[in-house]
C-alpha cells in the first residue's frame, strides 16, 4: 500500500525497468478529448469506468499497475482508464488529485466511489462491487 504525495524529485536511474502502465484492457488517456470520448462510449454501453490517476515516477503506482491491468482483463464489462497526472496536469487538478494513485469509479460520468492509494485488496473489492452493480444482462 502507499501513495505518492508530490512530483518526482529525482532523476530516474539507468537500468530501471519501465512498468507497462496501460497493459491489458487499460486505455491510456492522453488528452481531454480522449477522456470525453471514453466517457461517452462508457455511457452508451452502460459501463462503469475505473479511472486510475497515476504517475510514472510513483513507486506505489508502478507496483499496482500490473494488478490494474489484470483487473481490466478479468472484468471486460468495466472500462479501465489510465491518466498520467504529469501529462494532463490541468485535467488532473480539476479532479482534485492529492496523491497518486487515485482511482475514481464513475457511472454516466459521475463519481460513485473513490480509492486513494495502492491498496490491492480494497481495489479488488471496489471493482467487484462495481461489477455487481452493473445490470446482469450487461455483464
Cite the active site residues: 58, 61
d(CA 105, CA 49): 6
115: cell is 480509492
The span from the CA of 126 to the CA of 120, in Å, is: 10
Exposure class string for 42-57: b at 16+ Cβ within 10 A, else e: beeeebbbbbbbbbbb
Please name which of 69, 71, 56, 131 lies closest in space to residue 101, comparing C-alpha atoms.
56
By the 10 Å C-beta count (0-12 exposed, 13-18 middle, 19+ buried), 72 is classed as buried
Amino acid at each position: 500500500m502507499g501513495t505518492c504525495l508530490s512530483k518526482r524529485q529525482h532523476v530516474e536511474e539507468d537500468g530501471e525497468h519501465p512498468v507497462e502502465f496501460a497493459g491489458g484492457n487499460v486505455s491510456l488517456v492522453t488528452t481531454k478529448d480522449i477522456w470525453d470520448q471514453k466517457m461517452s462510449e462508457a455511457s452508451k454501453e452502460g459501463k462503469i469506468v475505473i479511472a486510475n490517476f497515476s504517475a510514472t515516477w510513483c513507486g506505489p503506482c508502478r507496483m499496482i499497475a500490473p494488478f490494474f491491468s489484470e483487473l481490466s482483463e478479468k472484468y471486460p464489462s468495466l472500462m479501465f482508464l489510465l491518466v498520467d497526472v504529469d501529462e494532463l496536469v490541468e485535467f488532473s487538478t480539476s479532479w482534485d488529485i492529492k496523491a497518486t494513485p487515485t482511482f475514481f469509479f464513475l457511472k454516466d460520468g459521475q463519481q460513485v466511489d473513490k480509492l486513494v492509494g495502492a491498496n490491492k485488496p480494497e481495489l479488488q473489492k471496489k471493482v467487484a462491487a462495481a461489477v455487481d452493480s452493473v445490470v446482469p444482462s450487461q455483464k
